[in-house]
Amino acid sequence: MPSPWQLFLHGDTTLPDCFDAMVRTELSDEKVLATAFSFHVDRDEMTKPIAGLSMMEFTVNIRSRFFELPFGDQAMAITKQRYDALGGFPNEPIMEDFELVQRLRRCGAAGSGYIKTLPAGAACSARRWHAMSIWRTNLINQVIMIMYVYFGYTPAQIYGIYYGTTKGSGADSPKTKVASKTGAGESTKAE
């Protein structure tokens, strides 16, 4: 019987058609620690062109494919067994997808396998880039990762900076959707 797997994505991300068959196929390979879809911004909802959008998508996909650094807006999938073995997501208001990816990368560095970025794209809402430019949004994201990795900022502190509130509850951030399926696609759970 195929292994049960879970898929995690941001609330403003849309999955490609037949996503479950793609994930199931790739996760059946023991060397694939997790999957993520290629990064794509949903152009159907765009009200005006966004300068630099194609370049940003290109660089995100390079980061994901060659450096194994996908994030939640790429709909990451992992077997339930591996997710549990890694301790799942940390109970933090932000940076939880980054932490899970770092654990997976450490497993890969130890020879356990790799994170595979699938060619099909998960479509992310354009709202962030409409509100701020590509360059400003990406600069903020990079500064936040540097603060977290190199300067020891906590996820609660990062949340306050990113969302402009000290509550840290996540109530004013997009919800993360969780889909859990068996490898055979017998059951689905979404929150």
- The two most distant CA atoms of the chain are separated, in Å, by 48
Strand partners, 190: 179
Task: Provide the pairing of β-strand 176-181 with 5-10.
Answer: antiparallel
| Sequential pLDDT tens for the chain (191 residues) | 568 999 999 989 999 999 999 999 999 999 999 999 999 999 988 888 899 999 999 999 999 999 999 988 999 999 999 999 999 999 999 999 999 999 999 999 999 999 999 999 999 999 988 888 899 999 999 999 999 999 999 999 999 988 888 765 443 444 444 444 444 333 233 33
| DSSP 8-state assignment for residue 28 | T
pLDDT of amino acid 147 = 96
pLDDT of amino acid 171 = 39
Q: What span, in angstroms and rounded, lies between the C-alpha atoms of 119 and 90?
A: 28
pLDDT of amino acid 75 = 96
Per-residue tokens: 109: 């560095």
In the sheet with 189-190, reading across from the earlier edge strand, the strands are 13-14, 114-124, 32-41, 76-79, 5-10, 176-181, 189-190
pLDDT of amino acid 168 = 53
- Tell me if 141 sits within 8 A of 32, measured CB to CB: no
Q: What are residue 156's phi and psi, to 5 degrees?
A: -65, -40
Among candidate residues 132, 135, 155, 129, the one with its CA nearest the CA of residue 144? 155
* Rg for the chain, CA atoms, rounded: 16
Quick one: which H or E segment has residue 57? Answer: helix 53-67
Q: What are residue 130's phi and psi, to 5 degrees?
A: -75, -40
Q: What span, in angstroms and rounded, lies between the C-alpha atoms of 164 and 3?
A: 41
pLDDT of amino acid 1 = 52
pTM for the complete prediction?
A: 0.83
Query: Count of alpha carbons within 13 Å of 76, Cβ hemisphere only?
Result: 27
pLDDT of amino acid 46 = 86
pLDDT of amino acid 183 = 44
